[in-house]
Amino acid sequence: MSRYIVRRLLLALVTLWALATLGFLLVEAIPGDPARQLAGPTASLETVEAIRHAYGFDRPAWDRYVSTLERYGHFDLGYSFSRSENARSVIARDVGHTLTLTLFAFVGELLIGIPLAVLVTSRKGRLADGSLVAAAGATTAIPTFLVGLLLLYVFAFRLGWFPLGGTTEGWRSYVLPVLTTAIPYGLVLARILRTSMLDELEKPYVQFALARGERMGRIRWRNVLPNSLVPLFSLLALDFAGLFASVAVVEIVFSIPGVGSDLFAAIRRLDTSLIIGVALVAGLVVVTVNLLADLAVIAIDPRVRRTTLG
Amino acid sequence: MEILLGEGELAGEPVLRIRDLRVGTADGDIVRGVDLEIARGQVVGLVGESGCGKTTLGLAIAGLLGASRRVLDGSIAFEGETIVDAGMDRTQPLRGGRIGFVPQDPFGALDPLRHVGPQLARPLRLHRGMSEEAALDRISELLVAVRMGDPRAILRKYPHELSGGQLQRAVIASALSTEPTLLIADEPTSALDVIVQAQVLQTFLELVREVGAAVILVTHDIGVVAETTTRLATMYAGKIVESGPTRDLLTTPRHPYLGALLASLPRLDEERERLFAIPGRPPQLPGLLWPCAFAPRCPFATRICTEQQPEADPQEEHGYACHHPLDETARAKVRA
Amino acid sequence: MSGEPPGAGAALTIPETPPAPEGAPATRERDPPRVGLRIGLIMLAVIAVCSIAAPLVAPKDPNTESVAGLGPDGGPQGPSLMWPLGTDAKGRDVASRLIYGGRVTFGASALAIAFATLIGLAIGLLAASSEGSAGNVLMRVTDIGLAIPGLLLAAAIASVLGSGVTSLVVALVAVFWAPLARVTYGQAVVIKERPFVEAARSLGAGRIRILVLEITPHVLPILLAYAALSVGWAALFESSLGFLGLGVQEPTSSIGAMLGSGLAYYRLHPGLIIFPALYLGLFVTATTLIGEGLRKPRRRVATEQRPVSRLEVVGR
């Protein structure tokens, strides 16, 4: 068991290293004076020189690379000139909002998707099937931020049920942003899960459970659903990563101070430290979630347990 | 072939009475009018090639037809009460309790994510109200009775961790744990190796005799039928074409289909250069059929077979639905 | 049994199936029409024509700023006779900007996915067909490619290459090659195990030949279905990029750019957002219908008793 975890952790580290290297290469690739880029257009010449020295732009590239990696190893992500503080503190402050939104969106996705899928696969739910496909298609044919704008327009602007943005009103501030991503993702999950469940329902263990006297409802929830979900775990992990990215855009629409809005502000100002910082954090989240998904599959499916761990 | 007469064949009220049963889909019939009666303690074999409707018949009795197939006509009565007809299906409370079911593939039959024990203990819990512990104890007792070692360890395992034979024997024990009056076994040994088959069949027979259940054994394997059943019915294209005591049917088959099936069995005591196989293929159900569906493949078919449906005489114990039943000469020809 | 009839004239040869009675329905065997696929193709064709023939279809020049087009408050105006979909903040005709913008967005998406598919196909096939760790390494790289958040990667590329259609296409390729490689790999690995591949190998075919002749034709259907879906996703992606101010810059219009610039006015003039959104939605629906339609297997029952290896047929 531990050998498997070690291997996966190594893979995670390698991924992060690749991200960091990519970030480094991109900074190198930006045309113009990198020290000036990092310092920002309004910094004085002394500041620029100081940065040039601090970041080693006056040294050969390899040296810079190694010291950059070292810095990242110590969680020193550099200085964000657009925010006038260390990138690390900006991210640490704002990542909470983003993660909260993502987590709630994920839970929301499950709460919407799973019951819908179960409903649609039951005998009475056949009519709803077509509407599900249509609804899923409609919500994914438009970009996420438009869904957000729509919700904002109707429920906040017109009806006034929820605030127009910000995080000032406690849980109410989070409802619309969470729904913006949870609904499209949830509908897609419902479609995929429905297909998986329809496949599972054909399997003989359903028939045999009925033969023992079980009721269909119980079989659906206790046996079919878990079996249908297992092949979807890696998909759910990808969903989480996707949610994380979507949430970043949603933050802008709803003016929520998370790392997403930080990122896009940083992109506009070409604040590379912050850009790379957020990139690394995002990569870390994705890698962690993938690892958790793989572990979950092992925990739940005894057949995989046997093949993976021996 | 050794034919074992079943002991404990009790007379009395039929446990199961099927009248004129038709089962099918929107495209047509699969079971095309079946009459069958089973008395207490009888072990009845239902034999036919793949696609003849025998499995569908078995499923219909247990109420397990699924969404695509429905009972179109006729009725099934269990212990005197109608439980299935074209308008209703009251099998749910009986399933697992008074009507047991043994599936073909034991691996597919269990939820791969859960331990074997709780799944096998369900019938006792549902129908006898036992606690999990008590039910597991009872199943363990049954496993010990059929000489499966360390039953508790077996019950704690996952389905894929057991061998086919072990699993099927455990499934049989579970199906019989509630002492059902009727057991439907759908090709219980088809998924197993021949060597393991013997073990499983033995377990099957022991438990069945102890419980005194009536059994419908659906199979395509004449060897199995010879060893385990007292009565036999052959099905072809959705109808029962011959039925009666197993020994009678196997020594003096009357319907050409059974005659041909028996002739196709390889024998050690005969010299033959070629194995015989029935020419042609069984018809696909649902589909268009001749009045005698076997006619295209039958060497004795005449005009009447394409015009009039043969009916079996209900008075005869050894009944057959054929215009040209086999006599000694014919049987010899078939064997040659 | 010899199979001969026993008596003269006593037996008949009876055909397997009796003749159908009068008025019986004909055989039920038919391929169901793939409605969704057809609708999607028609929609796509219409959009494609609009995009390619933009100069002919658009009522005005998309980049002409016109004071006449502005409303009384100096801002954008709603639909009117002269400007069928209204004007934007600089007095430009929305309808024309939409058509030209669609050309940019949809064209870039299609082009990028075409490249990404080629790359993904090559990498996926290579990874699947190599024994040992080489394939593993390739897929690990692909996994990393999948792990990097797309918007980030695109933003990074945009900041390096500057803005414009080229950097847009490059960014799209960088984001979408990885999932296409993974889909290829997944399919190829399964097909690799099929009997006809083994048959080809035992007939002496080299690795490349097997890849091209045997494996690729079976990978293509699923890959193309996924690629079709990806074109739609790429367009959505571009719209997000534009919304954030990346991708193409003024005065070029793209769907994303229109969405981005229309944001400020959307409460009073929702059309600035709605029209591009609808156009985009039509495109994505079309690609989704096509992709889903390609994904559904044909009803023709393919009996896989022994699929013949192409080499056998060619008579190597």
Rounded to whole angstroms, how far apart are CA atoms A248 and C8?
88
Q: What is the pLDDT of residue B177?
A: 92
From C12, C15, C24, residue closest to B303, measured CB to CB: C12
CB contact under 8 A, B111 and A204: no
Mean pLDDT across B296-320: 84
Please tell me the least confidently modeled range out of A151-155, B275-279, C224-228: B275-279
User: Quick check: B274 contacting C, CB < 8 Å?
Assistant: no
Inform me whether the C-beta atom of residue C12 falls under 8 Å from chain B C-beta atoms.
yes
Residue A120 token pair:
């649609």
Percent of chain C predicted with pLDDT > 90: 13
Average pLDDT of B102-119? 90
B300 to C28: CB separation less than 8 angstroms, yes or no: no
Residue C220 has pLDDT above 80, yes or no: yes
Using alpha carbons, list the distances in angstroms from residue C175 to C21, C144, C151.
Answer: 61, 11, 8
Please tell me the predicted confidence (pLDDT) of residue C313. 40
Collect all residues with Cβ–Cβ distance below 8 Å to B10 and sequence separation of at least 6.
Answer: B39, B40, B41, B212
Cβ-in-10-Å burial (0-12, 13-18, 19+) of B260 comes to buried
| Of B153, B4, B16, B166, the residue nearest B81 (C-alpha) | B16
| Residue B162 phi, psi dihedral angles, 5° rounding | -110, 160
Using a CB-CB distance cutoff of 8 angstroms, which residues of chain A are in contact with residue C151? Answer: 245, 248-249
Q: Does the pLDDT value for residue A109 go beyond 80?
A: yes
Judge: A204–B96 Cβ closer than 8 Å, yes or no.
no
3-class secondary structure, B106:
helix
Checking if the pLDDT of C142 tops 70, the result is: yes
pTM here is: 0.79
Residue A212 and residue B103: Cβ atoms within 8 Å? no
Q: How far is A182 from chain C (nearest CA, A)?
A: 17
Judged by CB atoms closer than 8 Å, whether chains meet at C11 and B306 is answered as: no
How far apart (Å, rounded) are the C-alpha atoms in residues C266 and C275?
11
Report residue A293's pLDDT band, with 50, 70 and 90 as the boundaries: confident
Q: Inspect the interface and report whether the beta carbons of A303 and B96 lie closer than 8 Å.
A: no
Q: Is pLDDT above 60 for C299?
A: no
What number of other Cβ atoms are within 10 A of residue B131's Cβ? 11
Contacts of A307 in chain B (CB under 8 A): none
Residues of A in contact with C146 (CB under 8 A): 238
- Please tell me if residue C14 touches chain B, with a CB cutoff of 8 Å: yes
> Rounded to an integer, what distance in angstroms lies between the CA atom of residue B172 and that of residue A93?
62
Measuring CA to CA, which residue among A221, A257, A271, A236 is closest to residue A38?
A271
Edge-to-edge strand ranges of the sheet holding B231-236: B99-102, B182-186, B214-219, B43-47, B231-236, B239-245, B319-320
Residue in chain B nearest A306 by alpha carbon: B161
Catalogue the long-range contacts made by A130-133 (C-beta closer than 8 Å, 24 or more residues apart): A132/A187, A132/A190, A132/A191, A132/A194, A133/A191
Q: What is the pLDDT of residue C307?
A: 36
Residue found under tokens 């008395």 = B39
Residue A121 has pLDDT above 50, yes or no: yes
Contacts of B101 in chain A (CB under 8 A): 208, 211-212
Cα–Cα distance list, C167 to C170, C172, C248 (Å): 5, 8, 8
Q: Residue A146: its chain C contacts at CB < 8 A? A: 259, 273, 277
Structure tokens at A222: 């206790």
CB contact under 8 A, C281 and A270: no
- B284 contact residues in C (CB cutoff 8 A): none
Q: Average model confidence (pLDDT) for chain C?
A: 77
Tell me whether residues B299 and C16 touch, CB distance under 8 A: no
- Characterise B20 by phi-psi region: left (phi > 0), alpha (psi -120 to 50), beta (else): left
Residue A193 one-letter amino acid:
L
Task: Average the pLDDT over each of A165-169, B197-201, B295-299, C183-187 and give the range with the smallest value.
Answer: A165-169
Q: Could you tell me if A264 lies within 8 Å of chain C, comparing CB atoms?
A: yes
Please report the pLDDT score of residue B168 as a whole number.
92
CB contact (8 A) between residue A209 and residue B111: yes
Crossing angle of helices C94-129 and C255-262, rounded to 10°: 130
pLDDT of residue A105: 93
Cα distance from C183 to chain A (closest Cα, Å)? 13
Residues in A touching B67 (Cβ below 8 Å)? 123
Predicted confidence (pLDDT) at residue C63 exceeds the cutoff of 80: no
> Which of B217, A100, B42, A18 is closest to C145 using CA atoms?
A18
**Is the Cβ pair C14, B336 closer than 8 Å?**
no
Contact present, C261 and C278 (Cβ < 8 Å): no
CB-nearest to A141 from C158, C240, C284 is C284
- Taking contacts as CB-CB distances below 8 angstroms, the residues of chain A near C149 are 241, 244-245, 248, 279, 282-283, 286
Contacts of C15 in chain B (CB under 8 A): 296
Closest partner CB to B300 (pick from C11, C17, C20): C11
Mean pLDDT, rounded, for A272-290: 80
Measured from the Cβ of residue B70, the count of other Cβ atoms closer than 10 Å reads 15
pLDDT of residue C316: 31
Nearest Cβ partner for C147 among A138, A140, A287: A287
The partner residue sitting opposite B296, judged by closest CB among C4, C6, C15, is C15
DSSP state of B297: G
**Using 50, 70 and 90 to split pLDDT, how confident is the model at C301?**
very low
B96/A212 Cβ within 8 A: yes
- With contact defined as 3+ CB pairs under 8 Å, the chains touching A are B, C
Which residues are CB-neighbours of C244 under 8 A, at least 6 positions away?
Answer: A249, A252, A264, A267, C151, C155, C260
Q: Let me know: does B72 contact B285? Beta carbons within 8 Å.
A: no
Residues C110, C52: Cα–Cα separation, whole Å: 13
- Can you give the pLDDT at residue A280? 79
Average pLDDT, chain B: 85
Contact B123 A306 (CB under 8 A): no
B3 pLDDT above the threshold of 50: no
Q: Give the SS3 label for residue B74.
A: strand
- Partners of A80 in the β-ladder: A85
Neighboring chains of B (3 or more beta-carbon pairs < 8 A): A, C
What's the pLDDT score for residue C109? Answer: 93
Q: Per-residue pLDDT tens for B202-252?
A: 888 889 888 888 999 999 888 889 888 999 999 998 999 999 999 988 888
Q: How many helices and strands, by DSSP H and E, does chain C display?
A: 12, 0
Q: Is C8 on the interface with B (CB under 8 A)?
A: no
- Could you give the 3-state DSSP secondary structure of residue B89? strand
Q: Which amino acid is located at A7 in the chain?
A: R
Report yes or no: C15 at the B interface, CB cutoff 8 Å. Answer: yes
- The answer to whether residue B257 scores a pLDDT higher than 60 is yes
pLDDT digits (tens, 9 = 90+) for A216-275: 889 999 999 988 888 888 788 878 888 888 888 888 888 888 888 888 787 777 677 777
pLDDT digits (tens, 9 = 90+) for C4-59: 334 333 456 777 777 766 655 555 555 666 788 888 899 899 888 888 887 877 77
Share of chain A above pLDDT 90, in %: 9
Residues of C in contact with A239 (CB under 8 A): none
Q: How far apart are the C-alpha atoms of B73 and A173, rounded to whole Å?
A: 61
Q: Does B283 touch chain C (CB under 8 A)?
A: yes
In chain A, what percentage of residues exceed pLDDT 70? 92
User: Between the ranges A243-252, A260-269, B309-318, C98-107, where is the mean pLDDT highest?
Assistant: C98-107
Closest residue to B122, CB basis, from A212, A302, A306: A212
Residues of B within 8 A of A302 (CB-CB) are 112-113, 158, 160-161
**At residue A301, what are phi and psi to the nearest 5 degrees?**
-105, 110
In chain C, residues with a C-beta closer than 8 Å to the C-beta of A275 are: 152, 155-156, 159
Q: How many CB atoms lie within 10 A of CB B303?
A: 12
Cα–Cα distance list, C67 to B145, C73, C82, C263 (Å): 97, 11, 13, 21
Determine the pLDDT at residue C265.
77
Q: Chain C: nearest CA to A26, how far in angstroms?
A: 7
Q: Which residue of B has its CA nearest to A215?
A: B92
Question: Among all chains, which residue has been given the structure tokens 């047509």?
Answer: B28
| CB-based contact C1 B283, cutoff 8 Å | no
Residue A102 touches partner C, C-beta closer than 8 Å? no
Residues B324 and C210: their CA atoms lie apart, in Å, by 58
Q: What is the reported pLDDT for B336?
A: 57
Q: Give all chains having 3 or more CB-to-CB distances under 8 Å with chain C.
A: A, B
Query: For the residues A136-152, what does the mean pLDDT come to?
Result: 85
Average pLDDT over residues B300-306: 83
Local confidence band at A69 (pLDDT 50, 70, 90 cut-offs): confident
* pLDDT score at C10: 44
Residues of C in contact with B289 (CB under 8 A): 17-18
Nearest to A267 among C147, C159, C267 (CB): C159
Question: Mind listing the pLDDT tens digit for each residue in C147-196?
Answer: 777 777 787 777 677 778 888 899 899 989 988 998 888 888 888 778 88
pLDDT at C283 over 80: yes
**pLDDT of the residue at A104:** 92
The pLDDT of C59-80, averaged and rounded, is 71
Residue B335: predicted pLDDT = 61
Judge whether residue C314 has pLDDT over 60: no
Per-position b or e across A146-173, b if 16+ CB within 10 A of its CB: bbbbbbbbebbeeeeebbebebeeeeeb
Least confident of A2-6, A284-288, C274-278, C300-304: C300-304
Residue A35 predicted with pLDDT over 80: no
Instruction: List pLDDT tens digits, range A180-227.
Output: 999 999 998 998 898 888 888 888 899 999 998 888 889 999 999 988
pLDDT band at B155 (very low <50, low <70, confident <90, very high): very high
Interface test with C, best of B302, B309, B328, B329 (most C CBs within 10 A): B302
At residue B7, the 3 state secondary structure works out as coil
**Which of B93, B100, B111 lies at the smallest CB-CB distance from A223?**
B111
- Interface check A265 vs C, CB under 8 A: no
Question: Which contacts of A54-58 are long-range, i.e. CB under 8 A and separated by 24 or more positions?
Answer: none
Residue B65: closest C-alpha in chain A: A207
CB contact, 8 Å: A149 with chain C?
yes
Mean per-residue pLDDT for B124-150? Answer: 90
